[in-house]
Structures are given as structure tokens and as C-alpha cells.
Structure 1
Amino acid sequence: MVQGRSEAIIIVTAAVLALSTLAVSLRCYTRLYIVRAFGWDDKTMLTAIALNIAFCICTFVGATYGIGQKNAWFLERPNNLHIALFSWWLGQIFYILTCVVAKTSIALTLLRITVVRTHAIILYIATTFNIIVGLLFFFFTIFQCKPIDFFWHRMTEHGSCLDPDILIGIAYLYTVVAAVNDFTIGLLPIFMIWNLQMRPRTKFSLAVILGLGMVAGAAVIIRIPFLPNYKDKEFLYATWQISIWSNVEANLGIAAGSMSTIRPLIRKLHSTSFIARIRQRTGTFQLPSRIRKSHRGGGGVYSPTSNNMYRSPTTVPADQVLEQQNPSEESLGR
């Protein structure tokens, strides 16, 4: 029976996995059926969620077999130790790949709406550093022991592993680069939309939505104090916080990167419910003055139940009116 730290790992991982999966599903629906602009950033995010699911499976299996438990717990379950260590090793590989691919997807999303060359260069530089350092951490994680399987067979086989301080140093380097990348991607949208012709309230909401990537950066920073636990003798117990925050970082990064793309879906749902409420309550829709002036024959009120003598010369569906009121926002959601 799973208990203690292991249970906490499973609960937190399941919660954030559900959030990220829902966010990616909404993203795909929005891009495929609403804006009809499924791009490379969406394909990259699908790759990220697939890698993330593999990472979470490793976490579930590892926690079930002993991640989060002290060494004494394995005395009665010696076979569990190999599975727990292997799950940790494999999970870290999927974690690195998930984060690198997810951050790349977010950068590609911003590149779709970037019009200033300087902003594009910043995104390219941040993404390049993220990929390079991520691959460095990736290969160090795989080949930290010789032979490779000595990592999870260290109790029964002969071999050697890198000095834990070396791996911790690489982990610190990756953490710093990942945090800088997240905050760069999170703050850059403020400068990207600063000079756009739109209401301040709309600018603020777009900056917040596009800057959700900083949420993952916060999880990276929170994980820093626990990195020295890599060299603790009670390895699987001492690193349970690293396991939790790694899952939080990966899943929130995916969720934040996907939530920034579903604004057209939210607007469509809001418009649909708004129109339905109007029709249920009054059966009429007053055309805005600037819309009425654009149609020949003046304005007025259209009522589907009124007599012809009271009907306006211009009849415009309400959902068409709302689309005309927001001509530029659709492009921002693509």
C-alpha cells in the first residue's frame, strides 16, 4: 500500500497531469476547429505532453515501488529497490525532454505573433541555450554510471558513478538556464504588445495570458534548495521534493503554454452564451451605432417577433455583430 511521501508524490502528480492534459486538449480544439491554424508550436506541444505522460507514468510506478521511502522500507521489499531506482532514472530523462520541448513550443507560439526583429532574436537565443543545457543535463543523467544499469543495480553489481557534486552542478546550471528562459518568455509579451493599437485592459489581459510561462519558472526556483539531496544516503526518500517539483514544473509549463492559446475558444463560448441570454430575455438585439452606420438604410432594432412595419431595413445576426466588433483579436489567438 502506498503511503507517506510516496502517496503525496502520486496525488500531486495526478492533479497537475490532469491540468496539463486538459489544457493541451483545449489548445488542440481551438487551433483545429476554431482558428484553423494548427502549427509547429502545437505539434511540439503535443510531443511535450506525450513525453510528460511518460514522465508521470515513471513517477507513479516509482512512487508505488518506493520513491519517497527510507532505506529500511526496502528490507522487506528488496526487489522494489531496483524498480524504484530505474523509475527515477528514466523519469529524469523524460522530465528533461518534456521541459525542453515544452519551452520550445512556447517560444514558437510567441514567434508566430512577433513582429519586432529584436524580440525574435531574444526568443531564438533563449531557446538555443535552453536546448543546449537541457541536452547536456540529459546526457549526464543517462551516462552518470558505468555501466548505465549500475544506477539501479548498484546493490547487486559492480560499477561506478560520477561524483554526485558534478551532477548537482549540472542540475544547478540547467535550473538557472530554465528559470531565465521561463522569465524571459514570461516578460517578453509585455514589450511585444506595448505598442499595439488596443485598449489598455485588453493589453493587460493579453500580457497576463501570454506570460503564464513564468509559473513554471517559479517551480524551478522552488526546487533549487532540494538539489543537494541528490547525494543523500537516503536517496529515494531525500529526493521526494525534487520529484514533486519536477512534475509541477513540467505540467504547469505545458498547461501555461497551452492556456495562452485558447482565448478564441473562451471568446466564442462567451459570445454564444451572451447571444443566447439576449434572445431568451428580450428577443431583440440593438445594433451598436458604429455598426448601424456601416449599413445602408440606417439602423434600428431587429425583432424576430415584430411586424414588418416596425422591422429595421438592416438585419444583422448578433454573432456576426460580435465578430465585427473584434476584428483584430482573432489574429492574436492564432
Structure 2
Amino acid sequence: MSWDDTTMGIVVALAIPPAVFTFFLVDNGLGRDMWTLKDYQITNVLHYYFIGEIFYVLSLGVSKISILCFYLRVFPHQDFRRIIFGVMGLAVAYTIAFFFATTFQCTPMSYAWTQWDGLHEGKCNDIHLQGWIAAGINIALDIIVMVLPLKHLAGLNMNLRRKLMVMAMFSVGIIVIVISALRLYTLAHFAKSTNITWDYFEAGYWSLLEIDVSIICGSKLYGKEKRFIIDSSKPIDISGKHAFQAPGKGDQRGPLFGMGIDLALILGVMGTVWTGNPLSLDPGFSIGGTVDGDGSGNILGNLVGILGNPRGLQGSHNWIESDSSLTRDDLYVTGDAWTMNMTLFRDIYDRADDHGVISMDLLAEQAVRRWDYSVSHNPDFYYGPVTGMVSRNAGYMFLGRLLPNHTEQKPDGVLSQEVFKSFFAVYEDAQGNLEYRQGHETFPKNWFRRSSDYGLVSLNLDIVSWVMKHPELGSIGGNTGTVDSFSGLDLRNMTGGLVSSASLLEGDNLLCFVFELLKTFLPNSLSPLLATLAGPINLVTDTLATPITSLACPSWQDMTKGGEPLWDVIQGKFPGASKAGSSL
């Protein structure tokens, strides 16, 4: 857990006692005329007020430290980080100083809640002046913390609309400042009070509200994370704490940069539902194979949980991973679809142009070469409507769209041989030979990420473009048990005449078709994996709801062929789908 998360967790813990105290305060007469209360009730109100003040000071101080820790995590510029550390020092000093000033405001300490009756002896600071000073410094620190990143954000290389959105996101602290100012006003009024239980009511609820709003604003900020404020005009930092470290035992690694939230969300949910544990209290999936004790285990048991251990991406053949990938073998040919085959790597690496560049056209040609190879060498080759036409092709697209170096001179990106090697963990040995070092994928030196995210719409356009040039990349079907026996599926029969191979490439039809298949195949695909289907099905359908509503999708009939469910037709016709237990 990061320092900003840890410190905000501390703030949440500190906010609990003041919230609990409200019940005791009201029970003892807070908000009522003190002259109608018993002596012990007035004393109790002041006692809880005193303790609440201590938690209030600590909560607000640590909340500022938490936000500053978040800044340290997302802003890499060293000069700016020095300023952040300076402001953090002020916040720490404020918190410590007023913690002690509040705790020891009176001598003896109990005089803080007993002096009202005139029967006890002691001495106190000017608690009203102390409260005003604390509130004023608190407001000043809030303003500094809010304004601190705005200049840095204003200089980011992004369009004005997005820049304003990000700056507004970082300005939510103005809500806390307004509440702090209102609380200061009530403190000024409270200083003149002759009826403390009556007049403290407003100051009390503004104090409690200030703590709660600081938690809410901080949490909303953290939820947006780093993706919105990365400056694409600067290369990715690979020095210092960002320097490469060799993987340790059990580490799982793989590159993924600049992907749109819509696409990443769908892929994440698919991975969780089909290869992980969607029923866990902490849903997720392994990017390697089955891993015990990683938090994604079968915590609910076989009765209502998953049937067996989560398979991970290495066990996702024809669920997410598919045949004819760029640098990996077909599973039913070699039994290993996850270890990189250097022959396949060299097959495209050596075909870069004279400048060492691997273009999108070359990737498309390689996708066709790999498709042809699988048809002629893999009797169980299966090219499904989701895993083949979309997921498999998307793997090639991600290499060509996400991993190239997007410099200012080449904003569309250049995938050089050096970049390709770096992201695929390929190194030159002492003799100049290329070798694969599993888990050693690294950022290339002086590498710039995309300035815009690559999402569903971009992926749809790329796949359509490729299929129009190379129709085999849009062929749904597979070999029927022998090599060179590829048999395709008739889309008209599958969709009740709504879509053909040609019309699939029009408008949003491709995405609509894939989303409909995912929804249709859900119960069949999940029944061998999960004892409880409702939650995972809702997880997928809810995730697909937003992109579906934004598309002009037709009204689909049931996915059948000759009255038989399409899932069963595919399972019976294609051995590759049957072995995997998936028609996706």
C-alpha cells in the first residue's frame, strides 16, 4: 500500500471517535440551553469536546500529509518534489504543534472541562485565540495544498478541455476551504458565548463535516490516479526508484501502456471472470499461471465459489488468449502458449525496414503469416469470434499502437527494433546473438508514451481496416481435426440475417456483434468455472452496458444455428474449441 493510501487510512481511523462522540454529546445536552442541564452533563459535553478537538487537529493535519504524499507519487519533477517536501514539513509542524497546544491547553488538563463551574483551580491558554490561529493556519495550508500542483498541471502537453478537467479535479479542496472558513466564523461567535452547550452546536458539526469532506475530497482525487496527469511531452523516467529491477520469485510482469479506460475495463473484467476469481473479496486474476496464496484463491469454496483454482492468463487458451499469436506457439501444438518463441520473434524482427522500423502494415502481414501457419500446422486451430477475430488481432494492434515511441517529432509513434526488443525482454549476448530473458521487459531509454489513450473505437477501426485488406483475419471458424481443414461459420445464420461478413465491417457492427456474443455465451462459458453465476454475469453485463448504449446496435435474435445454440454448434464442430471448453 502506498504512503498516501496508508495516511488516508489513518485519517479515516481518526475520524471515527469524533463521529462516535456526537451521540454522547447530544445525549448529554449539546444543542440545548446549558442552564436546563445538570452539572455533570455540562462537564461531559466539554470533556468530549476537548477530546474531539485533539482528533480534529490530527485528522486535518494527516489529511494534508496524505494528499502531499499523493503528489509525490504522481509528480516526478525533482524541483517540484522539493517544494512538496517543504509544504509537508509545514503540515507536520502544524499538526505536532497544535496537537500539543490543544492537549495541554490547561493546567491541570482536566481544567479544560471543569473550569466552567468556578469550583476548580487551574490555568488555561487563551483557547479562543489559539483556535483562531489554528483555523487560520489550517485554511492557509489548505489553499497552498490545493494551488500547489496547478502551475505544473497547466504546463502539461494535453488539450485545453482535458487540462481544465484535470485542474478542476485537483481543485476539489476548495470545498474543504469553504467549510473551514464557515467553521472559523462559528468559532468567533462561540468566543462570546455565555451558553456553551447551546452555541457549540454549529462549531461542532462544521468541525465534523470538515474532517469527513477532507476524506471524501482526498479519496476522489486518488481514484483518478496518475493516468490523467502524465505529461506525454517528457520521456518515461527509468532512473532512480523507477530503474529496472530483475524479477523476484513469483513476480509476474507484462507491458501495457496508454490503453483507454473503456478497453482496459472490459479486458480486466474478462480476465477476472474467465481466468481469475470474480467472487473473491478482492477480485483479480494472475497474469501468469495458477498461483496459490496470491489473494485470488478459492476463498468461498466450491459450494458458492469457483470450481478449482483460478487458471490465470496462461490457462486462458480460447478464453482470452488464442492461436496464431505474434511470438508464442499454439497451445495444442507445443503445450506452451506463454513462453516466447525466439524464432517467431526473429521472423518479424528481421523483416523491419531499412531504418529498423516495424510498421503497422508489416504487423498486418505478420498476422496473416501466423494465421496461415496455424491453419497448415495446427489440426486444432480455432479462430473464435471473440478470441480470434478481436482479442488475437488486438494483441498485434497493442504492439503497433501502444508500444511505439511517440516523440514530438513522431507523434504517431515509431516501433523500432530497439523498442521491440526492450519491451519483449530480448537482449544481445557477448557474441551479439539475441536471447530472451523472461520477466526482464523494460522501458526503452528516452521512450515517450502516447499523448491520447487507445480505446474501443480506435481498436474497432484498426481491426476493420485490417480485415478489409486481409479477409482471413476476419474469418471465424477453425480446423476440424486435421491441418488445412479450416471451416468458417456463416454470420448470417449466427445473427438471424442481421450481419454478414461484409456488413460486419460497417459502422459499429463489429463491436456490437462481439458484445452480443459475450452476453449470449456468458452462462455457458461460466458454468464449468463457477458455482454461482449471477454476480459474475452482472459484472460483465454492467461493464458492457456503457459502451453498448453509445453504439447504434441492432436488435439481436438468439444466437442459434438451425435451432441449436451457437455455443453447442461450435463445441461440436471445432476440436480446438471443444478441448478448451470455450466457444469464445
TM over 0.5: yes
Q: 1:288 maps to what in 2?
A: 458
How far off its partner does 1:295 sit?
7.6
- Identity fraction in percent: 20
1:58 is the counterpart of 2:21: yes
Contact 1:127 1:181 in 2 (8 A): no
Q: 2:178 maps to what in 1?
A: 218
1:174 is the counterpart of 2:344: no
SS of 2:6's partner is helix
The one-letter code matched in structure 1 to 2:175 is V
1:137 is the counterpart of 2:101: no
2: CA distance between counterparts of 1:169 and 1:269?
Answer: 55
Q: 1:97 maps to what in 2?
A: 58
How far off its partner does 1:42 sit?
0.7
1:158 is the counterpart of 2:102: no
How far off its partner does 1:225 sit?
2.6
Q: 2:210 maps to what in 1?
A: 249
1: CA distance between counterparts of 2:7 and 2:460?
Answer: 42
How far off its partner does 1:256 sit?
0.5
Q: Deviations over 1:54-91 (max 9, x none)?
A: 121123321221222222121xx333222211111111
Q: 2:154 maps to what in 1?
A: 194
Q: Deviations over 1:247-277 (max 9, x none)?
A: 1211111110111122379x569966xxxxx
1:222–1:290 distance in 2 versus 1, CA, 3 Å:
same
1:208 is the counterpart of 2:171: no
Structure 2, unmatched stretches of 5+, are 228-260, 267-389, 391-454, 475-490, 516-542, 548-584
1: CA distance between counterparts of 2:100 and 2:457?
Answer: 62
Structure 1, unmatched stretches of 5+, are 1-37, 273-283, 323-334
2: CA distance between counterparts of 1:123 and 1:286?
Answer: 37
SS of 1:120's partner is helix
2: CA distance between counterparts of 1:263 and 1:289?
Answer: 23
RMSD of equivalent CA atoms = 3.7
1:122–1:173 distance in 2 versus 1, CA, 3 Å:
farther
2: CA distance between counterparts of 1:237 and 1:263?
Answer: 42
The one-letter code matched in structure 2 to 1:198 is M
2: CA distance between counterparts of 1:178 and 1:268?
Answer: 39
Higher helix content, 1 or 2 = 1
1:88 is the counterpart of 2:88: no
The one-letter code matched in structure 2 to 1:186 is M
Q: 2:109 maps to what in 1?
A: 148
1:201–1:41 distance in 2 versus 1, CA, 3 Å:
same
The one-letter code matched in structure 2 to 1:175 is A
The one-letter code matched in structure 2 to 1:158 is H
The one-letter code matched in structure 2 to 1:162 is C
1:127–1:57 distance in 2 versus 1, CA, 3 Å:
same
How far off its partner does 1:115 sit?
2.7
SS of 1:205's partner is helix
Contact 2:62 2:95 in 1 (8 A): no
2: CA distance between counterparts of 1:286 and 1:204?
Answer: 24
Contact 2:112 2:124 in 1 (8 A): no
Contact 1:145 1:159 in 2 (8 A): no
1: CA distance between counterparts of 2:467 and 2:45?
Answer: 75
Q: Deviations over 1:142-186 (max 9, x none)?
A: 1122221232234486331314xx322322222222112211222
Q: 2:342 maps to what in 1?
A: none
1:59–1:125 distance in 2 versus 1, CA, 3 Å:
farther
How far off its partner does 1:100 sit?
0.7
How far off its partner does 1:221 sit?
1.6
How far off its partner does 1:238 sit?
2.3
Contact 1:175 1:220 in 2 (8 A): yes
The one-letter code matched in structure 1 to 2:102 is T
Compute the TM-score of the two structures, normalised by the length of structure 2: 0.41
Q: 1:70 maps to what in 2?
A: 33
2: CA distance between counterparts of 1:241 and 1:202?
Answer: 39
Contact 2:262 2:456 in 1 (8 A): no
Compute the TM-score of the two structures, normalised by the length of structure 1: 0.68
1:156–1:221 distance in 2 versus 1, CA, 3 Å:
closer
Q: 1:240 maps to what in 2?
A: 201
Correspondence for 1:49 among 1, 5, 12: 12
SS of 2:148's partner is helix
2: CA distance between counterparts of 1:217 and 1:156?
Answer: 37
2: CA distance between counterparts of 1:94 and 1:215?
Answer: 21
SS of 1:152's partner is helix
How far off its partner does 1:93 sit?
0.7
The one-letter code matched in structure 1 to 2:71 is L
1:126–1:173 distance in 2 versus 1, CA, 3 Å:
farther
How far off its partner does 1:95 sit?
0.6
Between 1:291-300 and 1:107-116, the stretch displaced more is: 291-300
Aligned length: 267
How far off its partner does 1:94 sit?
0.7
1:118–1:178 distance in 2 versus 1, CA, 3 Å:
farther
Q: Deviations over 1:185-221 (max 9, x none)?
A: 2223322222222222111111111221221112112
2: CA distance between counterparts of 1:46 and 1:216?
Answer: 18
Contact 1:220 1:249 in 2 (8 A): yes
